[in-house]
A = this chain, B = another copy of it.
Amino acid sequence: MLKLSKLTDYAVVALVRLGQKSEVTTSPVLSRSTGIPEPTVAKVLKILATQGIVTSQRGARGGYRLAQPLEEISIAAVIQAIDGPISLTTCVDGGDCDARSTCGLGGQWDMVNAAIRHALSAITLADMKNHTVTDRLGGLHVPPMPDGPEATA
């Protein structure tokens, strides 16, 4: 369905909320603050910690803190941290594609990937918080849901 995992969605919410706190914050506190179930937010923070998005402090009085300001964290970075690399197709480098030899599309998918990454890298968590996303996108206007070509067939 070309949707990112719910974990990523939660990660963005948690990070934005975390950016509003000035001190280290624990998972339970963040859970209460965001409304995300505690085990889930804990897992998300854990992953984000391994990816360096947030820094962690173990033990009592521990918690998490943003490793960078909200303005420096792009949506793409969060997605990559949770969902892994942004590669729309499986046949970018590995080569586990059956049609490799006869496909003829070569590395054209890379361009598509780049387009996606570009769009995602241009949006930071600060934009999400401040609702200033439109500024970065240059006022693109696409129909809310361009339905498939069945309308024309």
Say whether B123 contacts A142, CB under 8 Å. Answer: no
Q: Kindly name the residue among A33, A91, A123, A148 whose own CB sees the greatest number of chain B CB atoms within 10 A.
A: A148
Say whether B148 contacts A16, CB under 8 Å. Answer: no
A73 CB-CB contact with B under 8 Å: yes
Nearest CB to that of A115 among chain B residues? B119
How far apart are the CA atoms of A10 and B76 in the complex, in Å? 26
A17 CB-CB contact with B under 8 Å: yes
This chain: copies in complex = 2
The interface residues of chain B lying within 8 Å CB-to-CB of A18 are: none
With A90-B6, A153-B68 given, is the CB distance from A1 to B103 under 8 Å?
no
Say whether A137 contacts B111, CB under 8 Å. Answer: yes
Pick the contact of A131: B52, B75, B108, B119 (CB < 8 A). Answer: B108
A60 CB-CB contact with B under 8 Å: no
How far apart are the CA atoms of A36 and B91 in the complex, in Å? 13
Say whether B112 contacts A153, CB under 8 Å. Answer: no
6 nearest A-B residue pairs (beta carbon): A52-B153, A52-B150, A35-B102, A111-B133, A115-B119, A35-B99
